Structures are given as structure tokens and as C-alpha cells.
Amino acid sequence: MPELPEVETVRRGLEPVMSGATIKRADVRRPDLRWPLPERMAERLTGRQVRRLRRRSKYVLVDLSGNESLLIHLGMSGRMVISGDVPGSFHHHVLPAERHDHVIFDMDNGARIKFNDARRFGAMDLLDTVGAESHPLLASLGPEPLGNEFHEAYLIEALRKRRMPIKSALLDQKLVAGLGNIYVCEVLHRAGISPIRRADRISEPRIASLVPVIREVLTEAIAAGGSSLRDHRQANGDLGYFQHDFRVYGRESAPCRLNGCAGTVRRVVQSGRSTFYCPQCQR
């Protein structure tokens, strides 16, 4: 499932195409995705101007005129595909609707944006812009890891009584929003912390050291366009390339990439998910 860097990459790709433009026509081609789509969704979107695009955790929020916002979750295989007269680039042919194009936006600037989702694990909803944070999918989320509310003192306090592996704790979206399996593995390797260690037994200085490492990994991944393993592509169709910089994720039995470490990457299963780490340099 796309994590924070992939979703932020998609948001940044959509912003120059959608921000300030009006949805000339919305074509909703099925009644549901993972859940039922909002009533009269096409009618409520058509004619609305896009005021702003923002991201909360793994969700894109499109703020519209009329005080409604479109919430988009990509799910396992969802993609936003841009074609047509994309501002700032050469003309591209408007791509026709295909089998798994479930929602299509034709913008008044000549661009077409299609939400394509072969497995239909994605989701869309319409909500009031004012008070959007109270939406059931957003209400319990923790602070953004790149925001000011996420800092050393917060993380130390949040993990003080977590009697669970540190990896499981960092995957809890109520503790910090947007982190997923890939980037938690990478963060813990850079921080030299074993994913198996109990969170409440890690010293405060080591917990504090996670904050800059989390920001570093996420910032690098966003700059690289995210990680393309199966389905993720940027909104312009390009693949992300941060997967080429993975130090442990997906590298079972490969040599550790930390300079001076002679260890080998190991894979274990935690809560049904694969965890990759180096038992020699992660303690």
C-alpha cells in the first residue's frame, strides 16, 4: 500500500494540473470502490473549482469551492493518471477511459485525471472542508512526521508505555501518521535499532534519535518520487526510484549496506508483515 512518500508524490503531481482549475465534468463510472461512493458524486463535483490540494497521512484531500473536499485513498493499486493539456508541458493526447478507470475528471484547462484501480481497494469520499479532520478516517490519526507537532519529546512520551516491538509501535497510525512497513524498516536500520526490541525498553536518547531519521528517510523518498514495487507510479506515469536506495527492505540474505558492517539482512514476520533488518548492527 502506498505510504506517505508515494501519496505526497501523487499530490505534488496533481497540484499544478488541478489547483485553480475547475472540474468541467466528473464521470463516476461505478457506484463503489472499497466502500460506496458518495451520493450524487458526479453532480457535486462538476463545476467546482479546486482551491487547494493537501495530504493527511496516506490520504489526498482536494478542497473545492462550495466548501466540500474530496478525500482520495489510493488503496493497494490505485493510481491517478494525467493526460491532455497539462500546464507547463507539451500537449499530451487525452487518454480514453479504460476498464479500471472508475472516476474521471475533465478539467477546464484541458487536462484529464483518471483514478484507475484494478483491485478497487481505494476509496473516495466527499466531506465538509471545515471540520474535515473529524472525518472517521482522519479523526484518530497521529501527528504528521514532517510537521512541527512531531518532535523528540512527543515520541519519547508516546512510546514510554508501549509494551510492543518498536516496529509495531511506529506502524500505529494513531502514534504517527503515514509511516508504513517499508519506511519503518529503513528508519530503524539507519537508527541502528532492532525492530524486535520493545519500545518501552529503548532509552530516551535512542528514541529521540528516531525523529530526525524519520524525517530524513521520508524527505529522501519524496525527492525520489516514492518507491515503485508493484503498482505505484507518479501522476505523470513515471516510476519512483527510492527502492534502489533500500538498505534492508526486500534484501533478505543480502549483505548489510552499512559501511563497516559485515552482517546479513534477515527477514522475520511481525504481525503478519515482513520485517527486514540487520541483526549485527541493529540492537
Whether 9 and 124 map to the same domain: the answer is yes
Domain count of the chain? 2
Q: How far apart are alpha carbons 104 and 35 in whole angstroms?
A: 18
Burial class, 244, CB count within 10 angstroms (exposed 0-12 / middle 13-18 / buried 19+): exposed
DSSP three-state, residue 273: strand
Q: What is the pLDDT of residues 153-188, one digit of tens each?
A: 999 999 999 999 999 999 999 999 999 999 999 999
Residue ranges of the chain with per-residue pLDDT less than 70: 86-92, 96, 228-241
Give residue 105's pLDDT. 98
- Cα separations (Å) of 259 from 62, 214, 247, 255, 281? 43, 20, 11, 11, 10
Annotated catalytic, 186? no
Give residue 246's pLDDT. 93
Annotated catalytic, 212? no
Active-site residue, from 52, 257, 273, 279? 273
Answer yes or no: is 139 within a domain. no
What's the whole-model pTM score? 0.91
Paired strand residues for 70: 62, 126
Domain that holds residue 255: 152-277
Annotated catalytic, 149? no
Q: How far apart are alpha carbons 179 and 195 in whole angstroms?
A: 14
Whether 233 and 129 map to the same domain: the answer is no
Whether 104 and 202 map to the same domain: the answer is no
What secondary structure letter does DSSP report for 280?
Answer: T
Within a 10 A sphere around the Cβ of 203, how many other Cβ atoms? 9
Active-site residue, from 11, 55, 56, 58? 58
Give residue 276's pLDDT. 98
Give residue 76's pLDDT. 86
Active-site residue, from 3, 8, 68, 186? 3
Domain of residue 195, CATH code: 1.10.8.50
Give residue 98's pLDDT. 81
Annotated catalytic, 190? no
Answer yes or no: is 142 within a domain. no
